[in-house]
């Protein structure tokens, strides 16, 4: 396994866990998205209750050179509220589907957060000084009796306790008939896309009353609907290129320079299916739940129900690598269909360091029983780890887990039938520069770091 | 013993499919097709018609109004929507426990 040996293998250690300990989880507390900002200093989470919590990494402590800074609460705010569209009799959930950070341009931080219908641009700014000594007001705000004012007093800025304020700067509404599943900021840092089940729109960050439709797969007759859009992302370097994935397991790459409406893809990525293996479940488990470009933009990764696939943008007819996340579930598909777990949308992510070091490329994704998986593209080794409060001694290396698919269960293995399918890890994130990962269980956020030498 | 032998030759996915079809014989032939996708697109849809509601109220003046069935997504016409069926404005929102 990764982590079982020395050399370049990463040894993951528990660092922190955030959230309530009790097993009775309120629906609002279910974490729905996790995202590091571009420097890794900030870590944002969104939940089903429409709230955003941002953690900040504390500056490195010289006395504690063996661990990187801890993440502490920096700001928390209500991003979205529940709504009811009376015209369409539609209940709009406040659940935050995605958060995406803008790169930092000045002292303030900006992020986009979205629910099913509305995208919001939030400004998070710090205030650490305030004006004191007004001429006409007392410090508590009461106005002074003007007859007592005999000299001019000019207010000066004095330090105050740090206050972090979040304010909505733009609200991008009324552009989506269906439910938004993705937002992606363009490499031009001026525009972004939002994708729902059938359409993708292009926005300018400054303009809220206009949006361009760039993909529309809605059939004229809804009876003919065969697939929906499941995820979309802009290319990290090419500002005219984006991809979107579908419920049928295909990925389409589009170039906005080719046409105003990118209904005709430039490339179609699809792995041919073996018709003899086709079953009732084939299409459902081939549905892509997440698509992520590598930092170089040369590759993209997709997640379907049972696997992670790496695609080379130059090769459309099959992925270059396929990693099995939990193949043992293939013989449980009937019950997973009955309990709806087969529709769970797992995300995936690349390690951050591949931006600098192309020969160290690891991808990560979640599974059930609070397990998460990592695959090393170079060594082809993989590991299963668990996010659990039982393993929470700092600097103790996490023990790899193993699921016993069939036959005699060895000691320390867990059998497929003992897996808890209510404990899903759908959202994970990797620090852009360091080996620090954030793993969300249902209502807790775990932070793991590699064991520094 | 025989059943085990048979299962060895059938791919696991097909065996699971057979299990599902045995439980739900009326399951459609096109699983990824229209019906399934349209249900996904309809998430959040609630039904309330004030006309239906008032007519029903007039009809059952002396009887107790039937309340919503277990599935609140029933199309109107089959059951009478009541104000209790409508989504309530949620009470004051509290801070996330992650920030606690």
Question: What is the model's pLDDT at position B40?
Answer: 82
Question: What is the model's pLDDT at position B49?
Answer: 73
Q: Mutating which of A21, A196, A337 best tests the B interface, going by the most B Cβ atoms within 10 A?
A: A337
pLDDT band at B88 (very low <50, low <70, confident <90, very high): low
Give the Cα separation of A390 and A400 in Å (integer): 14
Q: Which two tokens stand for residue A425?
A: 């890890």
The total number of structural domains in chain B stands at: 1
Domain presence at residue B66: no
> CA of A156: how far to CAs of A129, A133, A135, A413, in Å?
10, 7, 11, 66
Give the Cα separation of A230 and A251 in Å (integer): 10
CB contact under 8 A, B93 and A50: yes
What sign for the dihedral angle of Cα A152, A155, A156, A160?
positive
Query: Which domains does chain A show, CATH number per domain?
Result: 12-139+163-450 (2.130.10.10)
CB-based contact B85:B48 (threshold 8 Å):
yes
Give the Cα separation of A391 and A370 in Å (integer): 12
Q: Mutating which of B15, B29, B30, B32 best tests the A interface, going by the most A Cβ atoms within 10 A?
A: B32
Q: Which tens digit of pLDDT belongs to each residue from A259-284?
A: 889 888 999 999 998 888 889 999 99
Question: With contacts defined as CB-CB under 8 Å, which chain A residues touch B100?
Answer: 19-20
Searching chain A, which residue's CA lies closest to the CA of residue B45? A90
CB-based contact A43:A438 (threshold 8 Å):
yes
Question: What is the model's pLDDT at position B42?
Answer: 82
> CA of A357: how far to CAs of A187, A293, A312, in Å?
21, 16, 18
Write the residue in B16, B31, B94 that is nearest to A334 by C-beta. Answer: B16
Give the Cα separation of A322 and A330 in Å (integer): 16
Give the Cα separation of B46 and A91 in Å (integer): 7
CB contact under 8 A, A178 and B41: yes
Write the residue in B47, B48, B98 that is nearest to A445 by C-beta. Answer: B98
Query: What does DSSP assign to residue A368?
Result: B
Cα A245–A293–A283 angle (5° rounding)? 25
Query: What does DSSP assign to residue A105?
Result: -
Question: With contacts defined as CB-CB under 8 Å, which chain A residues touch B31?
Answer: 280-281, 283-284
Domain presence at residue B56: no
Query: Of the candidates A29, A36, A16, A5, which has an alpha carbon nearest to the alpha carbon of residue A364?
Result: A36
Question: What is the model's pLDDT at position A207?
Answer: 98
Distance, in angstroms, between A178 CA and closest chain B CA? 7
H or E segment to which residue A334 belongs: helix A333-338
pLDDT band at B87 (very low <50, low <70, confident <90, very high): low
Domain presence at residue B80: no
**Which residues are CB-contacts of A244 (< 8 A; sequence separation ≥ 6)?**
A195, A200, A215, A229, A230, A231, A232, A233, A251, A252, A254, A291
Pairing of β A402-404 and β A413-415: parallel
Query: What does DSSP assign to residue A267?
Result: E
For chain B, which residues lie within 8 Å of any Cβ of chain A, measuring from their own Cβ? 11-17, 19-21, 23, 27, 31-34, 37-38, 40-41, 43-48, 86-87, 89-90, 93-100
Query: What does DSSP assign to residue B61?
Result: S
> CA of A218: how far to CAs of A226, A228, A286, in Å?
10, 9, 21
Largest distance between two CA atoms of chain A: 94
Domain presence at residue B2: no
Q: Mutating which of A90, A219, A334 best tests the B interface, going by the most B Cβ atoms within 10 A?
A: A334
CB-based contact A401:A374 (threshold 8 Å):
no
Can you say how many angstroms the Cα of residue B30 is from the centroid of all Cα atoms in its chain? 19
Distance, in angstroms, between B67 CA and closest chain A CA? 19
Question: What is the model's pLDDT at position B61?
Answer: 62
Domain presence at residue B62: no
pLDDT under 50: residue ranges of chain A: 1-7, 453
Question: What is the model's pLDDT at position A6?
Answer: 34
Give the Cα separation of A2 and A6 in Å (integer): 9
> CA of A18: how far to CAs of A66, A143, A347, A387, in Å?
21, 45, 20, 12
Pairing of β A267-269 and β A207-216: unpaired
Question: What is the model's pLDDT at position A8?
Answer: 55
CB contact under 8 A, A227 and B37: yes
Q: Which two tokens stand for residue A80?
A: 């979205």
Write the residue in B20, B96, B98 that is nearest to A334 by C-beta. Answer: B20
Alpha-carbon radius of gyration of chain B: 23
Give the Cα separation of A76 and A54 in Å (integer): 6
3 state DSSP class of A15: strand
Searching chain B, which residue's CA lies closest to the CA of residue A338? B20
Domain presence at residue B73: no
> CA of A393: how far to CAs of A18, A390, A396, B93, in Å?
14, 8, 6, 34
Query: What does DSSP assign to residue A314?
Result: T
Q: Mutating which of B24, B98, B100 best tests the A interface, going by the most A Cβ atoms within 10 A?
A: B98
Q: Which two tokens stand for residue A326?
A: 């939990």
Distance, in angstroms, between A86 CA and closest chain B CA? 9
Domain presence at residue B54: no
Domain presence at residue B30: yes
**Enclosing domain of residue B14:** 9-43
Query: Of the candidates A9, A114, A25, A323, which has an alpha carbon nearest to the alpha carbon of residue B96?
Result: A25
Q: Which tens digit of pLDDT belongs to each residue from B10-68?
A: 888 999 999 998 998 877 665 555 667 877 888 877 776 777 777 767 776 655 555 55
């Amino acid at each position: 396994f990764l982590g079982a040996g020395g050399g370049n293998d990463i040894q993951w250690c528990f660092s922190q866990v955030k959230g309530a300990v009790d097993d009775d989880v309120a629906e609002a507390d279910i974490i729905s998205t996790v995202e590091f900002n571009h420097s890794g200093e900030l870590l944002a989470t969104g939940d089903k209750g429409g709230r955003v919590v941002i953690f900040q990494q504390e500056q490195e402590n010289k006395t504690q050179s063996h661990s990187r800074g801890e993440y502490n609460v920096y700001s928390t705010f209500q991003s979205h509220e529940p709504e009811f569209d009376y015209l369409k009799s539609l209940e709009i959930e406040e659940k935050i589907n995605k958060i995406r950070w803008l790169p930092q341009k000045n002292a303030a931080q900006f992020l986009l957060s979205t629910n099913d219908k509305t995208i919001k641009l939030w400004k998070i700014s710090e205030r650490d000084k305030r004006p004191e000594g007004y001429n006409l007001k007392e410090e508590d705000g009461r106005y002074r009796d003007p007859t007592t004012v005999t000299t001019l007093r000019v207010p000066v800025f004095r330090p105050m306790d740090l206050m972090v304020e979040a304010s909505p700067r733009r609200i991008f509404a009324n552009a989506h008939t269906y439910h938004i599943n993705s937002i992606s900021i363009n490499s031009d840092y001026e525009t972004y896309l939002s994708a729902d089940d059938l359409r993708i729109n292009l926005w300018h960050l400054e303009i809220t009353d206009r949006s361009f439709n760039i993909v529309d797969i809605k059939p004229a007759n809804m009876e003919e609907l065969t697939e929906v859009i499941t995820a979309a992302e802009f290319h990290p370097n090419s500002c005219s290129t984006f991809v979107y994935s579908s419920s049928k397991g295909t990925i389409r790459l589009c170039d906005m320079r080719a046409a105003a409406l990118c209904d005709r893809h430039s490339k179609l990525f699809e792995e041919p299916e073996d018709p003899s293996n086709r079953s009732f479940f084939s299409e459902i488990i081939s549905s892509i739940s997440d698509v992520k470009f590598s930092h170089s933009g040369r590759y993209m990764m997709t997640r379907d129900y049972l696997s992670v696939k790496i695609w080379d943008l130059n090769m459309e007819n099959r992925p270059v690598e396929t990693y099995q996340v939990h193949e043992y579930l293939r013989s449980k598909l009937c019950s997973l269909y009955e309990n709806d777990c087969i529709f769970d949308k797992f995300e995936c992510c690349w390690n951050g360091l591949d931006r600098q070091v192309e020969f160290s490329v690891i991808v990560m994704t979640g599974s059930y029983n609070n397990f998460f998986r990592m695959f090393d593209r170079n060594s082809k080794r993989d590991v299963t780890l668990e996010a659990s409060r039982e393993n929470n001694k700092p600097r103790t290396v996490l023990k790899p887990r193993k699921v016993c698919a069939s036959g005699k269960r060895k000691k320390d293995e867990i059998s497929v039938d003992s897996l808890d399918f209510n404990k899903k890890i759908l959202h994970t994130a990797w620090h852009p520069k360091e080996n620090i990962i954030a793993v969300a269980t249902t209502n807790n956020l775990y932070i793991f770091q590699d064991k520094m030498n | 013993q025989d059943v085990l032998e048979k299962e060895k030759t059938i791919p696991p996915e097909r065996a699971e499919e057979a299990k599902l079809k045995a439980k739900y014989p009326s399951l459609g032939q096109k699983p990824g097709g229209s019906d399934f996708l349209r249900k996904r697109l309809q998430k959040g849809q609630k039904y309330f018609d004030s006309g239906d509601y008032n007519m029903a109220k007039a009809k059952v003046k002396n009887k107790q109004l039937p309340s919503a069935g277990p599935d609140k997504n029933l199309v109107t016409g089959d059951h009478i929507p009541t104000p209790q069926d409508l989504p309530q404005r949620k009470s004051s929102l509290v801070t996330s426990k992650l920030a606690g």
